[in-house]
Amino acid sequence: MKRVAAVVMMIATGVFMAVTMASASNEGVLRGLYGMAAAGTCLHDKSAATEPGGGFTFSGTGTLGDPVTATPKSDDYFISTYMGKGMFYFDGKGNGEMWAWTFCILPPYTGSLKPKVTQALQPSAPLNMPTVRFTYVVEGAKVVVTIPPPVKLTLTGWISSDHKTMTLESAMPEQDQGVQYNGVIGYWQICTITRTLSRIVDE
């Protein structure tokens, strides 16, 4: 029995060391160009543009609680879906750039009585400034990408041990932010996005 316990302990120690070494090896090595495919959904509400807290109520404390508990305030709301494509570049030193486009499917709503497909540059950077800069941190297998204002968005996810693929997810708004008002269609919106990135150019 003691012999079995000793073997189990050795295996456990080896696994722990392997995980620790793999985690440490991720530090500072995220570098190169990654292609991105994304899918997401937005919930839109027609409440007045000056409505405190946007067009939603939240469970939790304060005006803005957990975004995943949002409930539309008005009876005029709809859900849109979209897919995105783009590129992420990581410089290996904690800085990067991204380019992304989103194709949205808008169902019938007050401002459009028929379904339609729209194309927009995302995140909300001006059309003459398609490059969005960001900073990132890698801690073991975890990746956190921070996009500063005017976009102001945090993406979190996981990277594979060979650094060839990763996932990045976001729920907008974050808890310390206000709900985004989409002036193009005149609705408040909350979006959740899942992104899959694959490395296409090493450096």
Report helix, strand or coil for 69.
helix
Residue carrying the six token digits 């189990």: 8
Report helix, strand or coil for 44: strand
- Beta strand 165-172 pairing with 153-159: antiparallel
Per DSSP, which regions of the chain are E strands?
A: 31-45, 56-57, 71-72, 77-91, 95-106, 116-121, 132-139, 142-147, 153-159, 165-172, 180-182, 187-201
Q: What's the whole-number mean pLDDT along residues 4-30?
A: 42
- CA-CA-CA-CA torsion sign (34, 23, 169, 94): negative
Domain that holds residue 88: 2-201
Tell me, what's the pLDDT at 134? 95
Question: Is pLDDT at 24 greater than 50 in this prediction?
Answer: no
**Rounded to two decimals, what is the model's pTM?**
0.74
Tell me the pLDDT of the chain averaged across its residues.
Answer: 77
Cα gap 14→64, rounded to integer Å? 45
Q: What is the pLDDT of residues 70-82, one digit of tens each?
A: 788 888 999 999 8
Of 10-19, 36-45, 133-142, 170-179, least confident by mean pLDDT is 10-19
Count of domains observed in the chain: 1
pLDDT in tens, 148-160: 877 778 899 999 9
